[in-house]
Structure formats: C-alpha cells, structure tokens
A and B are shown apart, each in its own frame.
Chain A
Amino acid sequence: MALSGIQIYKLLPQTNCKECGFPTCLAFAMKLAAKQVELSGCPYVSDESKKQLAESAAPPIRLITLKAGTEVKAGNEVVMFRHEKTFYNKPGLFIKVKASDPDIASKVAKADAYKVNYVGMDFTIDGFAVEADGGDFVGAVKAVRGATRRPLILIANDAAQLDSALSLLANESALIYAADASNYEALADVARKHKAALTVKADSFDALADLTQKIQAKGVEDMVLDLGGKNLGEWLNRSTQARRLAIKANQRAVGYPTVFFAGQNGAEKEAVCAAQAIAKYAGFVVLDTFTPELAYALLVLRENIYTDPQKPIQVQPGIYEINSPNADSPVLVTTNFSITYFSVANEVEGSGLPAWLLVTDAEGMSVLTAWAAGKFDAERIAKAVKGFNVAEKISKKRIILPGHVAVLSGELEEELAGWEIRVGPREAVDLPVFMKQALN
C-alpha cells in the first residue's frame, strides 16, 4: 500500500541538508508521496529504507508479462470498478490445444492468423495453451511454436516434460500451469530455470497464500493464480475477493493476476463464462473453442470494458475521402466518436460508392448524444463545412445529414445559404441503398 508523506519522512535521514532541492526532508517526503519526485533525488537514503520504500511502491497486483514474438501483460490494476479510474491491462485471450491432437499445428495457425477490425483497431488472439494429455507434449509444443510467434501457456504436471518443452522456448516468458501443494517444488525449480511464470492453484485463499509464499521462497516471483470454483457464481465471488484482497487489503501473498479456463463447464457455456471473466478481473482467459464469431464478440467486450471512461475513443475531425470521391460525390456529415465514424465509413467503403465524409468536432460523442449535448448542431456543422473548405471539393452544394438529426435541416439551411440539405437514413446500414437510390 502506498505510504503517506509522514510515513516516508520517517524513512528519510531527517537531516534537512537540502541537497534534494527541498528545504526539509518532510517537504521531499510529501513530494515523494505525491509521486512528483524520484527517491534518487536524496543521496543519503539507507539501503533498508530503499527496500521498504520500493516494497510500498510495488503495485498491489504484480505485473506479469508473457512474451515470445509478441507479448501480453496482466496485473497492475488499481481499482475495483472501471469508473473509479480505468482498467489497464486487457486480459490476454488464449486458445487451448491438446498435445494429442494430430491437427494441432493447423488449428493454431488458423487462430493465429485471425484478425478482426473494430473501430479502426485490429484485434487478434493473444496466445495459445498447450495441454499435455498423453501425446508427445514436447513435439506438440514444437509444432505450436512453428505455427505461431505468440506467447504460450504450458499445461502439464510433469516437471521433466515441462523442462524439455521450455528448453525449446529460449528467450521467452511462458506460463506454466499449474503448481499445487503436491508438485510446487519441482515446478518452481523449472520455472526459475526457464524464467517462466508459474500458475498456482488451490481451492482457498489460505492455501493459495501458503503456496505463493513457499514458491517465492524458492526464487520465483512471477506467479498467476487459478482460483478454482465450479460455476459462474463461485468464479465471480472468488475473482472479486482476489481483487479486493490485493487492492483493498494489500494482501501481497495473493496479489497476482488470475487465469481462467472458460470452457471448463462445456462449450455451450463458454461464451458467458469468458465474458464474465473479462468483465470481472481475469488476467488471462483460456478458451477451448476458437470460432471467429466468439473471438470477435469477446475482443469487443474486452475493448469496451477496458476503454478509459474519461476519454471516449475519437477520430480527428476533418473531411475524409472514401472510395476516391470526385466533385460529383455526395458529402455525408457525421461526428468524431470512433464508433460512429467507423460504422458510417465502413458502410460506405463496403458499398464501393465514393463519398466525402465530413467529420465534425463533436467532442467524441455519438450523433444523438452530441445533438442532445449541443455539440452537433447547425452552427457546428456549418463551421466544419467552411473550416474544411468543403465547397471547393464539390460541384453541387449538397450535404447529407444523419436521419436521427433530421430536425437540424431547417436551421442548417439558414446557416448554409445556397446549400441543399438532405436527410439520410437513421442507421448507417441503410446508407448504401440510400446513396444508390436517392442520390442521383
């Protein structure tokens, strides 16, 4: 837990020598507490104090980075609810494959190649989990590594098998699944040797804390928790408890990100189980099933939950060219909220019809939200038309409004004398038909 200025002061030399640039040690301590200066500003801090200060500055949930050709991070979260600040590290989405599966490489390659665009961002799967199930585990890991550059989770109990598999993954940070009371010593040794993170699994927080402390004593710092539980209700409770223990009670022994297996109660329930894990604090989510439609839905949910509530995702206001418009192409007006912009731009682009898309500065709000907030009115639209020199680009002065703000047409006619104001459909899906039929 972060220390107060007074607590920090007690750890400083208290000589007020001023070398840090502050009149007193207390003044320096206050600045430290506010994170406005670095501890290195004081040359006289004892090693013991440094250690204590570093510990107190450590995040309540340890940051774990899994790394290969790409990387994925979990941990470092600071709040229970996204509105309190924001959630930072999006839970990595992993696909599980079985070592005995003869199609393992092609399955991995297919999911590995998956890419989907959501409001201008490309999303992919983050990595793969390889499960030892009696087949040739090391061979399977080799095959998977040949099919993807993404980080891996290795699911096996046998330390020797893990050791050989991890030897194939030099310079990577993989995640081992999972140490429990019976095998933690051997797995901790392997994890330390290969600089892998180690999952710790137990059915109670007491047992988890015991294990993480023992494993830490064996020199492994990077751990991930499997909290157990048998259904949505238990998972929700445990996940909430883990986050609370770390953030509110500063319980370092369980201050690690979690991994959740969404397919454990069957494929039917996988979507909701994964969705709950994404909303409720999981660090890594492992799916048994890869389908594009499920991956897409979950990646979008993850993006939504992890967007910073303080700043809506926006695009730059301006006049955008879609499908190489010319002087006869229509001008469509919209706002600069990313979701709005992309739902319109994608429709027009997909239709193959050329158009100018005039994106007004609506402070990142959707059409109706901006309209209701007075950020998308005739005056602002007229300003954008003039500011971005729209008239120079076209021969016919005509502008298309979103159907939801048809009420603006009268005022806009006044603001833009000599322009024809047309009202388009309400939803962007209907734009292509409208453009074909009504705009000739």
Chain B
Amino acid sequence: MPIEMPKDKWPGSIKKVTLGATSADGGTRTKTITLGGETTLPYLHFEAPTPNKPVIAIEIKSHKPDDWSPLLAEVWSDAMNDPAQWAKKAEETGADMIVLELTLEDTPDGAVNAVKSVLGATGLPLIVWGPGQSEKDNELLIPISDATKGERLLLGICEDKNYRTIVASAMANGHLVQARTAMDVNLAKQLNILITDMGLPADRIIMDPTTGALGYGIEYGYSVMERLRLAALQGDAMTQLPMIVTPGYEAWKTKEAKVGEGVPESWGDWKARALHWETITALALIESGADVIVLRHPESVKRVKDTIEELIAV
C-alpha cells in the first residue's frame, strides 16, 4: 500500500552565523565555525538537509573553580590551573570551540591576558563569558573586546538589563553576542529586537534560551526551544538565530552529578550517572534545536560528538 509522506514546507529559515575569523578576515583563528541555515526542524532529512551541524564547546575558567565536581577535577587535573593549557587540552579532547568563563576575582588586565593566552594556545573560535554580574561583566568584557578586535568572538552574556554596553562594544570590534533570556519565546524575541535596534546585524547574535538539567526543569527549556525553532521556520525573523545551550553547567550543578556518597542506592554508579546526566541533557537539547552545546566532561564530549555524527548522517 503506497503511503504518501506529509512534508512541511516552511517559509522561514535560520540565519547563517559565523564565529571566529582567520587571518584572511582580520583574526587569528585557524578555523571558523558557521551555524544555522536550517530550513526545517532538526535532522529531518526527508524534508531538507542539515546545512551546518551543531558544534561542541568545552567550558573552561580563567581560575580553577573550587565548586566543580571532583569527577571533572580528576580529568582536567593540572590543566585547570592555566586557561591556556586547559584550552589546549580541550581542543585535543575534540572541542569545536572553547568557552572561557571569567570569574569575580579577575581584573581587567588579568582577563585580557587570559583571553590572549587562550587565543594563543588554540586556533579554535572562542566564546567569552563574564562572571555574571552586570557591572563586573562590563568591566572585564569591554577591554577584552577592544584587545581582540576582528576575532569574531562570541561575547556573553547579554541579558535585558545589561546588553547595551556589550552590544556597543561588539559592534565596534567586529564580535558577536550571546543573548540570554529566561526560557520564554517572547523574551528571546524581544531581546533580539533590542539588540538589532542598536545596529548590530542579526547574523552576529546567538540566542541563549537558557535551560534546566535533566530532572531540574529540562522540559521547559526543551519546549521553549521547539517553539522558538517553529516560530523561526514560520517566518518570525527575530527568532531565526542559532541557539547555544549549557547542559554541562546545568547537569554538573545537580546532586546526581555532583555527589557520590550518601545518595540512594537506586541512583547507581556515580560516574556513570553523572555522564548520563550530562549527555542525556545534551541529547534532548540537540533534538529540540541546539546549535552550540557547551559541555564539561571529555567523555560526554565524545558521546555527544558521536551522537551528532549519527544524526546528520544521511
């Protein structure tokens, strides 16, 4: 019995966004990354090919974090003391990009140095996050943006309360911005409007819809991303941007990943569980449309990379 397959034809598509610049384009990266271009829902090959596959960024910090799981400290070990080393090791682990997260201890000079040392240690495109307090973010990100003009860094994190300074600086120095909103389609759209109204072209924005970990609100992030992607395909220009998500950060914050002792026996082996927590959180978000997946554990990186290869294989 011949079955006719219903296919969706969408009026909209996701914008192509390129991160990092090689010397030909005024930067120093040996590799650039282009995201976006999708014309249908994630990996539905029977409707359209996936023009650009999602990529993995590994999260490193400018100072060794003291609140990361011992399972992470164990694999990254000494490299955690030096962002350049850590970045190098992350590249060897299979990262497509590096996320360098600054801390409250950083001084502007120190932060610029950390960024430069990471840029020197790897040829991968770089994402830089401020420590997450508006004033401090501006204090650190602006000198970094100035000192790396032309590199097409992704600067984060822009939120509605502090996007102006970062956007202005990204505009002046040829960088991109990460626009974060709290799991809501309209808020995401609105922030993109505010940012583009300032004059930054839309193809220099990556949306961060925020997410929760498996067991801690992932269903909200999952659905908001599906809705954002549907809105984009339906033609809503201010949602037609690639998305970045942070399953590493979210998953390693949970008790399931963080704690090995004094937990129910039914939770099973600690390390295996922690890795499942990170990879399954990542998998769910990839299925709902994530383009940049920020991870922490090398083993998760490997598994998620394999997953992506299988998803895009036709």
Partners in one complex: yes
Chain B: which residue is nearest A432 at the CB level? B262
Does B250 sit at the interface, judged by CB under 8 A? no
Q: How far is the CA of A245 from the CA of B230 in the complex (A)?
A: 19
Contact for B287 among A244, A280, A296, CB less than 8 A: A280
Does A237 sit at the interface, judged by CB under 8 A? yes
Min CB–CB distance B184 → chain A (angstroms): 11
Contact for B3 among A206, A304, A429, CB less than 8 A: A206
Contacts of B182 in A (CB 8 A): 372
Chain B: which residue is nearest A309 at the CB level? B223
- Residue of A82, A237, A428 contacting most chain B CB atoms (<10 Å): A237
Q: How far is the CA of A196 from the CA of B44 in the complex (A)?
A: 34
Binds A, one of B22-30, B197-205, B211-219, B240-248: B211-219
Does A81 sit at the interface, judged by CB under 8 A? yes
Does A437 sit at the interface, judged by CB under 8 A? no
With A233-B43, A233-B45, A275-B284 in contact, do A294 and B258 touch (Cβ < 8 Å)?
no
Binds B, one of A34-42, A147-155, A247-255, A382-390: A247-255
Sort A-B residue pairs by CB-CB distance and give the 10 closest, nearest first. Answer: A293-B268, A292-B268, A293-B273, A116-B266, A232-B310, A297-B276, A209-B1, A205-B3, A304-B219, A83-B223
Does A171 sit at the interface, judged by CB under 8 A? no
Min CB–CB distance B6 → chain A (angstroms): 5
Q: A118, B222: Cβ atoms under 8 Å?
A: no
Does B73 sit at the interface, judged by CB under 8 A? no
Does B116 sit at the interface, judged by CB under 8 A? no
Q: How far is the CA of A292 from the CA of B270 in the complex (A)?
A: 10
Contacts of B149 in A (CB 8 A): none
5 A-B pairs with C-beta separation under 8 A? A83-B227, A275-B284, A297-B256, A297-B276, A429-B259
Chain B: which residue is nearest A368 at the CB level? B182
Min CB–CB distance B285 → chain A (angstroms): 10
Min CB–CB distance A271 → chain B (angstroms): 5
Contact for B219 among A209, A233, A309, CB less than 8 A: A309
Contacts of A309 in B (CB 8 A): 219, 223
Q: How far is the CA of A114 from the CA of B268 in the complex (A)?
A: 11
Min CB–CB distance A5 → chain B (angstroms): 25
The B-contacting residues of A in range 298-350, CB under 8 angstroms, are: 298, 300-301, 304-305, 307, 309, 339, 343, 350
Q: A231, B313: Cβ atoms under 8 Å?
A: yes
Q: A293, B272: Cβ atoms under 8 Å?
A: yes
With A232-B311, A275-B280, A305-B222 in contact, do A209 and B269 touch (Cβ < 8 Å)?
no
A-B contacts besides A83-B226, A279-B283, A300-B214, 13 pairs, CB < 8 Å: A81-B230, A114-B266, A116-B264, A231-B313, A233-B43, A233-B313, A272-B279, A272-B307, A280-B287, A292-B266, A293-B272, A297-B276, A428-B255
Q: How far is the CA of A372 from the CA of B210 in the complex (A)?
A: 15
The A-contacting residues of B in range 213-237, CB under 8 angstroms, are: 214-219, 222-223, 226-227, 230
Min CB–CB distance A106 → chain B (angstroms): 18
With A83-B223, A83-B226, A233-B311 in contact, do A293 and B269 touch (Cβ < 8 Å)?
yes
Q: A271, B276: Cβ atoms under 8 Å?
A: yes
Contacts of B307 in A (CB 8 A): 232, 269, 272
The B-contacting residues of A in range 213-234, CB under 8 angstroms, are: 213, 231-233
Residues 1-37 of chain B, each 1 if its beta carbon lies under 8 Å from chain A, else 0? 1111110000000000000000000000000000000
Min CB–CB distance A311 → chain B (angstroms): 12
Contacts of A258 in B (CB 8 A): none
Chain B: which residue is nearest A305 at the CB level? B219
Q: A271, B219: Cβ atoms under 8 Å?
A: no
Contacts of A173 in B (CB 8 A): none
Chain A: which residue is nearest B218 at the CB level? A304
Contact for B46 among A82, A241, A253, A254, CB less than 8 A: A241
- Residue of B258, B266, B312 contacting most chain A CB atoms (<10 Å): B266
Q: B287, A82: Cβ atoms under 8 Å?
A: no
Min CB–CB distance A125 → chain B (angstroms): 11
Q: A253, B3: Cβ atoms under 8 Å?
A: yes
Q: How far is the CA of A285 from the CA of B187 in the complex (A)?
A: 36
Q: Which residue numbers of A lie inside 8 Å of B, CB to CB?
A: 81-83, 114-118, 205-206, 209-210, 213, 231-233, 236-237, 240-241, 244-245, 248-249, 251, 253-254, 268-269, 271-272, 275-276, 279-280, 291-298, 300-301, 304-305, 307, 309, 339, 343, 350, 366, 372, 427-429
Q: B219, A236: Cβ atoms under 8 Å?
A: no
Q: A245, B267: Cβ atoms under 8 Å?
A: no
Contacts of A233 in B (CB 8 A): 43, 45, 310-314
Min CB–CB distance A84 → chain B (angstroms): 10
Q: How far is the CA of A309 from the CA of B220 in the complex (A)?
A: 8
Does B306 sit at the interface, judged by CB under 8 A? yes
Does B66 sit at the interface, judged by CB under 8 A? no
Q: How far is the CA of A210 from the CA of B1 in the complex (A)?
A: 5
Chain A: which residue is nearest B307 at the CB level? A272
Q: How far is the CA of A249 from the CA of B8 in the complex (A)?
A: 12
Min CB–CB distance A269 → chain B (angstroms): 7
Does B265 sit at the interface, judged by CB under 8 A? yes
Q: B268, A272: Cβ atoms under 8 Å?
A: no
Contact for A206 among B2, B272, B273, B306, CB less than 8 A: B2
- Residue of B45, B219, B222 contacting most chain A CB atoms (<10 Å): B219
Q: How far is the CA of A271 from the CA of B312 in the complex (A)?
A: 18
Chain B: which residue is nearest A212 at the CB level? B1
Min CB–CB distance B308 → chain A (angstroms): 9
Q: B44, A245: Cβ atoms under 8 Å?
A: no
Q: A297, B287: Cβ atoms under 8 Å?
A: no
Contacts of B4 in A (CB 8 A): 249
Q: B6, A249: Cβ atoms under 8 Å?
A: yes
Chain B: which residue is nearest A350 at the CB level? B262
Does B252 sit at the interface, judged by CB under 8 A? no
Contacts of B258 in A (CB 8 A): 429
Contact for B266 among A115, A248, A279, CB less than 8 A: A115
Q: How far is the CA of A251 from the CA of B280 in the complex (A)?
A: 32
The A-contacting residues of B in range 63-89, CB under 8 angstroms, are: none
Q: B284, A209: Cβ atoms under 8 Å?
A: no
